Structure 1
Amino acid sequence: MKAEDAATLSTVIAAIGSDHLGAAIDDALRRSLSFDMSCCYLFRFNHNAVLLHNGYNAHVSEKTLDAYRRGGYLLDPFYVACVNEHPAGLWRMSELAPDSFYSSGFSISKDIHPCVSSEHGALIEEVGFIIPIRPQVALVYSLMRNLESGAFSAEEMQALSNLEALFGSVLTLHCQIRHSDCFSDTRASGARLEDAFVDILQGQLTETQRYIAKLILQGHSTASIAALLKISEGTVKVHRHNIYQRLNISSNAELFRLFIDYLAGSG
């Protein structure tokens, strides 16, 4: 190991357990990799997202971050992957996202999605390490590029993947120090819906309809929902029609607005 690499690693290790770990990791990565923003979140089923590292570099407003932490994260493919116990490792957002995610309200909404580019009005390139802590609890450390900077190349992804074990060890230890409750809380939920979805839709929809509404909000198409629930696309369309009728809306955009209004009212 080169002397400068050893010094960089020692800086990262020394920052474990402090508020400076994310910045130390960013500085280490920028020695060989360019990126515009970074973040690290602690995701737990039915708990608000916890921002462990804010590397958005003032590009994201506190209002947006607050809305995301209160409930916007429920529509984030990284959160969904974590609570569904997706395999650990480095993943592109596009590998995790449902088939209609990039045309969903969440993907293009600056109100609750930190990764919308203010310059382009579209999702930027994002890759993230998924680091499982225990069932339905995981850390995600993400790196982002503005669209004009281009996607992370295969070579860059491989170089990052080589750091997976180091990322996992460092961030897990950090979480043990700063968020030890995540390791001792072993309650199993078994629920399909988080409280925010139930609160929005309670009393108006059946359990199945609420679950389908959740999948719609997360960016699943009719075909994707049919495949997940092992029902026909026609049945999904009937459920969608009934959901719209019961909520007195007529589109996915209006369903998303109900979600936004709930977040605004829950602050």
Structure 2
Amino acid sequence: MSPDEAQAVASLIAAQGEAGPGPALDALTRLTAPFDMSCAFAYGPGGTARLIHDGYSASVSRTALSRYLKGGFLLDPFYVACTTGVAEGLWRMRDIAPDGFFASDFASSHEVHPCISREAGTLVEEIGFVVPLARGEGAVYSLMRHRNGLAFSAEEFQALAGLGAIVAACLRRLPCQNGGQDVSPPATVDNERAFERAFGDRLTPTQLAVTRLVLRGHSNLSIATQMGITEGTAKLHRHNIYRRLNISSQSELFQLFIQRI
């Protein structure tokens, strides 16, 4: 399909009635590249998350999904992408995630990551269409493959990217109406204050900034680059954070965050 053809179809979809386009969008994208699960979230600039299309399999934990919406989404690279101005289009998770994300606890947590079962490593790959919405929101339509499958090939990725105009038109309709979708209300979590509520009584503002990056999967080198400090200083900040919180690992830091949100 050419870009012009895609744009024409996108305009047609945008002019349709009130039926939610989520399931139809799944059917269309599956014709281009098969996948096991899908979902779409709308993220607000103040730190909110709404499930606007539930294409998860029946095995997805509703408890994990609830915890994700209550604040776990703050650690999701696609949330960060929506709130930091990543260009509209299709992205592989690995291309927008921090350098240590896939070794982080969030990436393999069955407690707060809806796509992960109790058997770590279930998710082979996640790709997502990032689309800016009105009022400063951004939406992501994610397609996922399970552990025993293969990552999306370059050809599949390119073909899906060609559907970008159609996906964008659908996502811009989904947050506006229910249409039979499992649409959740916005979470009452503030992007900055969630971290402050979790750790602000024991950490300095600089240590809070470092903690946020650690939880999102940044290495010491990446933290140093993000904050304009040396790698050694980033390492020292991490050491002092652990000492103040009376913990000794990133896993313990993650558990504290999940407990406090």
With normalisation by structure 1, the TM-score equals 0.83
Paired with 1:10 and 1:221, the residues of 2 have a C-alpha distance of: 43
| Cα separation, partners in 2 of 1:66 and 1:148, compared to 1, 3 Å | same
Match of 1:222 in 2: 220
Paired with 1:93 and 1:99, the residues of 2 have a C-alpha distance of: 11
Q: Is the 8 A contact 1:130 1:140 kept in 2?
A: yes
Counterpart amino acid of residue 223 in structure 1? L
Match of 2:195 in 1: 197
Unmatched tracts of structure 2, length 5 or more: 179-189
Match of 2:252 in 1: 254
**Count of residues in Structure 1 that have an aligned counterpart in Structure 2:** 244
Q: Is the 8 A contact 1:82 1:130 kept in 2?
A: yes
Paired with 2:131 and 2:209, the residues of 1 have a C-alpha distance of: 26
Following superposition, the deviation at residue 138 of structure 1 comes to 0.3
Paired with 1:193 and 1:52, the residues of 2 have a C-alpha distance of: 20
Moved more, 92-101 or 27-36: 27-36
Paired with 2:135 and 2:221, the residues of 1 have a C-alpha distance of: 28
Match of 1:91 in 2: 91
Q: Is the 8 A contact 1:222 1:236 kept in 2?
A: yes
SS of the residue aligned with 2:143?
A: strand
Paired with 1:16 and 1:107, the residues of 2 have a C-alpha distance of: 38
| Cα separation, partners in 2 of 1:134 and 1:85, compared to 1, 3 Å | farther
Match of 2:130 in 1: 130
| Cα separation, partners in 2 of 1:195 and 1:240, compared to 1, 3 Å | same
SS of the residue aligned with 1:139?
A: strand
C-alpha root-mean-square deviation of aligned residues, in Å?
Answer: 2.5
Following superposition, the deviation at residue 134 of structure 1 comes to 4.9
SS of the residue aligned with 1:49?
A: strand
Deviations along 1:217-252, one digit per CA (max 9) or x if unpaired, are 000000100111111011111111111111111111
Q: Is the 8 A contact 1:49 1:73 kept in 2?
A: yes
With normalisation by structure 2, the TM-score equals 0.85
Unmatched tracts of structure 1, length 5 or more: 180-191
